[in-house]
Amino acid sequence: MKTTCIIDNYNHERFICEAIDSALSQEVLFDEILVVDDASTDGSREVLNDRYGSNPNVKLIYRPVNGGQLACIQTGVLEATGDICCFLDGDDCFHEQYLQHVLEHYQSNPDSTCAYVTCKAFDQMVRRTFGKRGTQATGITVGITLRGNTFVGAPTSCLSYRTDLLREIFPYPFLDDWLIRADDYLNGVSSILGAKKTFIDRELVHYRWHDQNHSWTMYKSLASYRRRLSLNRLRFYFAQNLTLDTESLNNELHREFATWANPSWQLLSWYLKAIFNGNQSFLRKIAQSASLLQHKLATVIKRGSHQAESLKHGTLLSANGQCEDIAEEI
């Protein structure tokens, strides 16, 4: 199984070498590393040529004009030859065991088309993007993506996909919508296309906050509105291409929720919100909500029974003097 690392860069002269070196230093090596520079105006090009111009494991790609983050990623995807593509922003870094864990996942799960890990910050404390719920597959996420305001996934540097799926995601005609926040596009479109996603509960990416993190501008009112327009176009474009009736998806959200083996309470709230924002009758919404609650409670009871049985088993082993610390590990 061949692997490709796609590193997008725009004016990250200070950080880009650290990002590339983290990809080169994997315990399981990438088969190819593509560095796509988006017409940087700082000294990135000179640094890249001097440091990696003669490195056979790194291919440098220079875009002639700046097109934004998604344009940069699209360029890399269309050049990739690997079976699996992993993404890394030019100001982030991989843990040295990142590819080992990601590759093991795909090798063990041939039906999985997307895997994402969690991250930690270099310079300051951040809230966990993901709850500590263990490695797990998500359910189907078509409806919640098209009818809710929920995109299941992770920041760009945490994402990996089978290249066959990326060939369906790209090319995209409205790249100008995604000068930043390309992770929203990747997470959203992969869900609409029916990607089978898995969250790997390991902190394998170092995420950097600094004075050039432009994604924070999305919280300004105008930027937030423009982002919503971009999301609206994305949903409409792919729904049309896939001939999906988005209105009727509201009637199926409770069935989609049932595909999640271990849904969180937060996920439940997202589905409930999407249901009550729909056009179906009030009685239908109540019936769907009851179905959601029934599935959630069933998973809670099942998980509680499993944990109780595990603790009981651990106690028995400890009493026999065979494994003193098993109960604490569980």
Q: In the chain, what is the straight-line distance between the N-terminal and C-terminal CA atoms, in Å?
A: 34
Mean pLDDT of 313-328: 40
Where is pLDDT greater, at 123 or 26? 26
> According to the model, what pLDDT value does residue 222 have?
79
**Residue 215 CA: distances (Å) to CA of 67, 115, 210:** 16, 22, 11
> According to the model, what pLDDT value does residue 127 have?
45
Mean pLDDT of 230-235: 95
Q: Which of 203, 220, 240 is the last residue of a domain?
A: 240
Check if the beta carbon of residue 68 is closer than 8 Å to that of residue 184: no
Check if the beta carbon of residue 136 is closer than 8 Å to that of residue 30: no
CA 168 and chain centroid, separation = 17
Q: What angle do CA 258, 193, 178 make, to 5 degrees?
A: 120
| Confidence bin at 215 (pLDDT 50/70/90) | low
Regarding whether 33 and 81 lie in a shared domain, the answer is yes
> According to the model, what pLDDT value does residue 307 have?
59
Q: What is the pTM of this model?
A: 0.87
Regarding whether 252 and 235 lie in a shared domain, the answer is no
Domain total for the chain? Answer: 2
Query: Is 146 a domain residue?
Result: yes
Q: Which of 215, 240, 265 is the last residue of a domain?
A: 240
- Taking alpha carbons only, the member of 198, 207, 125, 212 closest to residue 161 is 198
Collapsing DSSP to helix, strand or coil, 32 comes out as strand
Query: Is 321 a domain residue?
Result: no
The tens digit of pLDDT for each residue in 279-296 reads 999 999 999 999 999 999
Regarding whether 285 and 221 lie in a shared domain, the answer is no
Query: Is 183 a domain residue?
Result: yes
Q: Tokens 């440091």 map to which residue? A: 51
Rounded CA separation 198/113 (Å) = 8
> According to the model, what pLDDT value does residue 310 have?
52
Provide the 8-state DSSP code for 322. Answer: S
Q: How many CB atoms lie within 10 A of CB 211?
A: 5
Least confident of 156-165, 208-217, 228-237: 208-217
What DSSP string runs through 77-120?
A: HHH--SSEEEEEETT-EE-TTHHHHHHHHHHH-TT--EEEEEEE
Q: What angle do CA 9, 187, 302 make, to 5 degrees?
A: 135
Query: Is 45 a domain residue?
Result: yes
Provide the 8-state DSSP code for 323. Answer: -
Regarding whether 207 and 142 lie in a shared domain, the answer is yes
| Confidence bin at 134 (pLDDT 50/70/90) | confident
Please state whether beta strands 84-89 and 93-94 pair in parallel, antiparallel, or not at all (unpaired).
Answer: unpaired
The tens digit of pLDDT for each residue in 54-101 reads 999 999 999 999 999 999 999 999 999 999 999 999 999 999 999 999
Domain that holds residue 223: 3-240
> According to the model, what pLDDT value does residue 225 have?
87
Query: Is 327 a domain residue?
Result: no
Collapsing DSSP to helix, strand or coil, 9 comes out as strand
Regarding whether 197 and 256 lie in a shared domain, the answer is no
Regarding whether 103 and 8 lie in a shared domain, the answer is yes
What is the chain's mean pLDDT, rounded?
Answer: 88
Q: Which of 240, 275, 295 is the last residue of a domain?
A: 240
Six token digits for residue 255: 């069935």
> According to the model, what pLDDT value does residue 121 have?
76
Six token digits for residue 217: 């501008």
Mean pLDDT of 251-272: 94
Regarding whether 224 and 97 lie in a shared domain, the answer is yes
Query: Is 322 a domain residue?
Result: no
